[in-house]
Amino acid sequence: MKRLWFFLISGLLLFCTAGSRDTITALDRAMVHAIGIDRAEEGFNVTLQIFRPDSAGTDTQLDPAKANIFIVSASAPTVGEAMTKCENKLGEFLFIGHNQLIVLGSKVSLEQSKRLFSYFIKSKESYLGAKVATAQDASKLLSAELSEGAVSAQSLAGIIDRHVENSDTLECDLLKAFNAESSTLLIPQLALSDSKDDSEEQSVTVKNTAVYVSGQHILSLDEDTCNGLSLLLGEGDHLTLSLEGKEGTAAVDAALSRSRPRLTRNGDRLKCSFEVCVYLQNNQSLELLFDKKDLLDQSRIRLQESCDKALSLCYETSADLIGLSDIIRSRYPQLWLDCGGDFDRLLSLTELSANVRVEIRQ
Amino acid sequence: MKTISPYQAAALMLCFSLSRLISFKPSGDNLLICAAGELLAGAALAAVSVALPEKLSIKGRLIPKLCAALSAAYLLLQLTLLLSDLAASTQYSFPDFYASPAMIASAAAAAAYCASMGKGGCGRAACAVIVITLIIFVLTAVGAADRFDPDRLSLAVPDRAQQLSRQLLYSLGTACEIPLALILRQSTDRPRRAALLWFSGHSLSWAAMLTLCAGVIGDHALTGIPIDTLSSYSKTSVIERFDALLLLVWVLCTVLAAAALLSGTGCCIKIISDKAGRFAPPIGALISGAAACLLTGQGVLLPASVMAALLGGAMLLGFGAKEVRGC
């Protein structure tokens, strides 16, 4: 009898709570895969790349030969208002839960990053790990018909991933970008290559890596400096070096190992040293094309130069490219508090060095 | 009558701890200090629970009933806050989709039904829920492990002692596990083992999850609900986000914790009146549910000192309780 009462009450509650007027079905939603934000006269121009499968009349709705995207854009004083205008234009509810990428135009400043990204942070649907990149014109990039992949945004995210794995750039996501106004941020810069023939297909590559300090873009890093930073931060997995061998230039693949920086204190001075270890996989081509000792020396010198270049850039630009503030804050919190978290003061107390070790793995 | 094993008793108490962990909001305090405060509070409460004599009774008719009434009020208050917290936290995380009264009513009804199954039924269900919750936690940790950076863990805050004392007071004021332990000790043959098991699980889960949040999300974890943020940030090759799974285990833990509180309330009321004790769980669910609906969104919070005082009063139950049939 008791159970019957409880089942009755539970059933009643099920009826009360189901079919809420706020329920939105999947058919009423537009899946946003990528978002572009450019500077406009009114404020911001937001471009949305929506997933729209282009059927070729086959069994599956998705045709890999086509772009499968639909572009909508709107301008408004804030990003949130622009998103609402896009929703009005579409006539559907936006779903940003599957958003892969946010592209920022070159003129978009991150000095008020919390306000810029507030729409994404306050929305529960938003994925905080969505990649963030910059481009000359975000709207043009998202509208491009790409030759790779069935869905453009997935291709763009994949392109950034490959560059990060090959140590050509450093990854940036929404969570890091949210704190850009009070930290140093490294963001991949995407560039659209012009099509060589009359076909509409274009391709995208990561040209450089933009450095933002307290939300302002101060410089762009080339591939060599990014290699060095990847080694120091342990973010990339592989690296390809073109070295002089017995019969000319040849490519050598290197695998990177992650290492933590060592921070020691001597009175008022700090010494931060990075021990970087790189492994070259031994194979037939390596033995044929290179002298082992020469190979090790060449690769060590090249990588040491990249690391030293990255470290000297920290002093030249006063940009915390290596996360030194966080390292000191973690290991010497009282010193960090005494300096008030000021990076210039912390950098003046610290001596940076890197030691690269190269080994051939049998 | 001994009806549950020490593992089941510990699982019931752990449901409460994990429900508090998942809905925990640091409000700007350092996560490592919050974890330390919670561990210290847990250690103190576990030590008290272990040190209490197995059986102690106070002579007289009025004092045991007074203790029981105070404990019942405290448990109902905790139940109200638990239901209100579930609704408020879910509305914070999923603002567009859930109506608080419906959530509270569903949770209260489910808790009342679980309580009607008795402590044995609740204990067995709690063991299953704890296993599921720990699996979800492990999966979330595996998905976020790639992004864990030990250099984000720091104690660089100027007011470490104040934050620790604030967290300690909050933990002592909201810890309902020990009054639960005092009620459950009558139903289990090894209450001290149950308390120690609870303390081990409580410390491990709070320390591990808050450290993971601090190392993955960094300063962003200081606002909002860190475990919820971590679950939506964590990603594996199979599951892209874990927040839906986390909501599942959160509700399961909350319902079982609420059921344990209702069972405890029933035990307390039985000391005062045997007849009234039978109807205490559903009526308690009704009263707490209604109060929670009114409280949600109002930002009403009792001061931590008042909560701690009520906790002390509730612990008197351990001294005033007699063997109650069916309790």
Whole-angstrom distance, CA of residue A243 vs CA of residue A250: 6
Cβ-Cβ contacts under 8 Å, A16 against chain B: 102, 105
Domain CATH code at residue B298: 1.20.1740.10
Torsion of CA B50, B51, B57, B59, to 10 degrees: -150
Chain B: which residues have CB within 8 Å of chain A?
93-97, 99, 102, 105-106, 109-110, 112-113, 116, 147, 149-158, 217, 219-220, 229, 232-233, 235, 240-241, 243
The residue range of the domain holding B14 is 6-318
> Do A187 and A313 share a structural domain?
no
Mark yes or no for CB contact A333/B94 under 8 Å.
no
Instruction: Write out pLDDT tens, residues A75-91.
Output: 999 999 999 999 999 88
Q: Which amino acid is at A352?
A: L
Mutation to test the A interface, candidates B91, B154, B217, most A Cβ within 10 Å: B154
The pTM for the full model equals 0.86
- Which helix (H) or strand (E) segment holds residue A162: the answer is helix A152-165
> Do A132 and A156 share a structural domain?
yes
The residue count of chain B comes to: 327
**Is residue A168, in this structure, part of any structural domain at all?**
yes
> Do A198 and A281 share a structural domain?
no
CB distance B179 to B74 below 8 Å: yes
> Do A245 and A99 share a structural domain?
no
Q: With 60 as the cut, is the pLDDT of residue B304 above it? A: no
Domain CATH code at residue A305: 3.30.300.210
> Do A188 and A43 share a structural domain?
yes
CA A191-A194-A199 angle, 5° bins: 130
Name every residue whose Cβ is closer than 8 Å to that of residue B11 and which is 6 or more positions away in sequence: B123, B126, B127, B129, B130
Cα of A201 vs its chain's centroid, Å: 24
> Do A174 and A89 share a structural domain?
yes
Listed range (A104-113, A206-215, A254-263, B161-170) with the worst mean pLDDT: A254-263
The residue range of the domain holding A314 is 223-362
Residue A290's Cβ-side half-sphere holds a number of Cα atoms within 13 Å equal to: 24
Mutation to test the A interface, candidates B90, B91, B147, B151, most A Cβ within 10 Å: B151
- Look at residue A127 and give its three-state secondary structure: coil
B202: phi then psi, degrees, rounded to nearest 5: -60, -50
**Is residue A191, in this structure, part of any structural domain at all?**
yes
Q: How many CB atoms lie within 10 A of CB B143?
A: 22
Instruction: Write out pLDDT tens, residues B75-107.
Output: 888 888 888 888 877 777 666 666 777 778 888
> Is the ipTM reported for this complex over the cut 0.95?
no
> Do A227 and A217 share a structural domain?
no
CB distance B196 to B50 below 8 Å: yes
Query: In this structure, what DSSP letter does residue A246 have?
Result: T
Percentage above 90 pLDDT, chain B: 20
Q: With 80 as the cut, is the pLDDT of residue A158 above it? A: yes
Structure confidence at residue B323 (pLDDT): 43
